[in-house]
């Protein structure tokens, strides 16, 4: 799955680095000693939000429509049954998603997200085509989940030249491989993402990172916090109005509202 650094360094053109997340994805390129973070043309909010692509796909067979990212998120409330969220949790499994009578694999759905990122990156960088990519995955991903990610990239028209563990990518982003003069250094990385939270211990030796151990909970991420808030809101609605929330569109609206409230609280502690 991996290729040596010299082969990567000698490639012409851009190599797209992609963080394929459970709830949001991001991408960047390193070219001519400069890092460029890709901005989504659909997202006209804050600078940090512009750099995120919601990992959401909307499929409507009747209208022959496939939307990805912020446009798909807008459809979530009005048409939740055709909107797919958190597909990363199904990667490497045989599970499928059924939309309008058709079944889609996790690789297919993820490929739509990757294709969106690829297209947006080409437009942002004024490039005709970008074909090479490096994609990050959780350290605990097994071989099936990693291969599933590579297959999704291939379906999106990307040549995945390397799969990198997310904790390793985080260490590289902080430049930890450059700041130590020790022969060896132990590092612990704590990740709290949209779909998971995990802790990974790594050994940095001779400018190379090696995962020693990793553990976490694949069902305790930001989206699970959103769901806890939604469940509490549903309880309050039932207490006040003696009504159950059983409409998928109402639940979708509650979920988006819960997410917004959580983010607002996080920024204003």
Instruction: Note the pLDDT tens digit of each residue in 79-127.
Output: 999 999 999 999 999 999 999 999 999 999 999 999 999 999 999 999 8
Q: Would you say 155 and 107 are in contact if contact means Cβ atoms under 8 Å apart?
A: yes
Q: Would you say 19 and 52 are in contact if contact means Cβ atoms under 8 Å apart?
A: no
pTM above 0.85, yes or no: yes
pLDDT at res. 6: 47
Decide if pLDDT at 46 tops 80. no
User: Containing H/E element for 262?
Assistant: helix 248-267
Tell me the per-residue pLDDT of 212-242, one tens digit each, with 9 for 90 and over. Answer: 999 988 888 999 999 999 999 999 999 999 9
- Select the more confidently predicted residue: 261 or 5: 261
User: What's the CA angle centered on 130, arms 126 and 135, to 5 degrees?
Assistant: 125
pLDDT at res. 29: 93
Fold type of domain 5-177:
Nucleotidyltransferase; domain 5 (3.30.420)
How would you class 137 by CB atoms within 10 Å of its CB: exposed for 0-12, middle for 13-18, buried for 19 or more?
buried
Phi, psi of 19, deg, nearest 5: -100, 100
pLDDT at res. 41: 83
13: closest CA among 146, 159, 154, 153?
Answer: 159
Residue extents of the structural domains in the chain = 5-177, 223-267
- Select the more confidently predicted residue: 262 or 266: 262
């Amino acid at each position: 799955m991996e290729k040596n650094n010299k082969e990567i360094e000698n490639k012409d053109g851009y190599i797209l680095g992609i963080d394929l997340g459970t709830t949001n994805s991001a991408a960047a390129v390193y070219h001519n000693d400069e890092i460029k973070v890709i901005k989504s043309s659909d997202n006209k909010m804050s600078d940090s939000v512009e750099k995120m692509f919601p990992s959401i796909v909307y499929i409507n067979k009747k209208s022959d429509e496939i939307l990805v990212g912020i446009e798909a998120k807008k459809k979530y409330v009005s048409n939740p049954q055709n909107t797919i969220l958190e597909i990363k949790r199904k990667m490497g499994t045989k599970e499928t998603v059924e939309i309008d009578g058709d079944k889609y694999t996790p690789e297919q759905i993820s490929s739509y997200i990757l294709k969106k990122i690829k297209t947006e990156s080409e437009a942002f960088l004024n490039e005709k085509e970008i074909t090479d990519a490096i994609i990050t995955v959780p350290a605990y991903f097994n071989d099936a989940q990693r291969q599933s990610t590579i297959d999704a990239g291939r379906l999106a028209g990307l040549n995945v030249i390397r799969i990198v563990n997310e904790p390793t990518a985080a260490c590289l982003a902080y430049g930890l491989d450059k700041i130590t003069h020790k022969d060896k250094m132990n590092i612990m990385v704590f990740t709290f993402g949209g779909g998971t939270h995990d802790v990974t211990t790594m050994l940095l030796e001779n400018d190379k990172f090696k995962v020693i151990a990793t553990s976490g909970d694949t069902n305790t991420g930001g989206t699970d916090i959103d769901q806890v808030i939604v469940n509490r809101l549903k309880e309050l609605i039932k207490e006040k109005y003696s009504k159950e929330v059983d409409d998928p569109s109402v639940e979708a609206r509650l979920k988006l509202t819960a997410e917004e409230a959580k983010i607002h609280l996080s920024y204003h502690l």
